[in-house]
Amino acid sequence: AQSVTQLGSHVSVSEGALVLLRCNYSSSVPPYLFWYVQYPNQGLQLLLKYTSAATLVKGINGFEAEFKKSETSFHLTKPSAHMSDAAEYFCAVTISGGYNKLIFGAGTRLAVHP
């Protein structure tokens, strides 16, 4: 079975600082991994995805994530935080072979202060 753990339910950074949101996964087979962002009262927007190609994945809005099999991690980073990055971020995992259900982490709320 697959699972996802997001370390840190709340992360606070200053505008312009590095953003690091942590995600560790558990999967008995090669996983597909996703990061989504959710703004208040809205659905989820895909930031980026890992689908067994390049281990360093670049997404929208300057975010990127690196798949590290040895560490079972898929941490999300952004070099310089912007006020508009304040939102809820979810890491999710699924496996290949059809449209299998996504398993979501608990989420990390990112706050960006001036």
3 state DSSP class of 57: strand
Residue 44 engages other proteins in binding (rule: CB under 8 A): yes
- Measured torsion, CA atoms of residues 107, 61, 15, 6, in degrees rounded to the nearest 10: 20
Transcribe 66-77 into DSSP letters.
EEETTTTEEEEE
**Residue from the set 20, 96, 111, 113 that interacts with other proteins by CB under 8 A:** 96
The one-letter code for the residue type at 27 is S
**Residue from the set 20, 84, 100, 111 that interacts with other proteins by CB under 8 A:** 100
Judged by CB under 8 A, the stretch of 17-25, 40-48, 63-71, 76-84 that binds other proteins is 40-48
- Residue 80 or residue 96: which is nearer to other proteins going by CB? 96
Q: Which of residues 58-87 bind other proteins (CB under 8 A)?
A: none
CB 114 within 8 A of CB 16: no
State the minimum distance, in angstroms, from the CB of residue 32 to other proteins: 6
- Residue 101 or residue 114: which is nearer to other proteins going by CB? 101
Q: State how far the Cα of 52 lies from the Cα of 67, in Å rounded to an integer.
A: 9
Q: State how far the Cα of 110 lies from the Cα of 97, in Å rounded to an integer.
A: 33
Q: Which residues bind to other proteins, rule: CB under 8 A?
A: 32, 34, 36, 41-46, 49, 51, 90, 94-96, 98-102, 104-107, 109
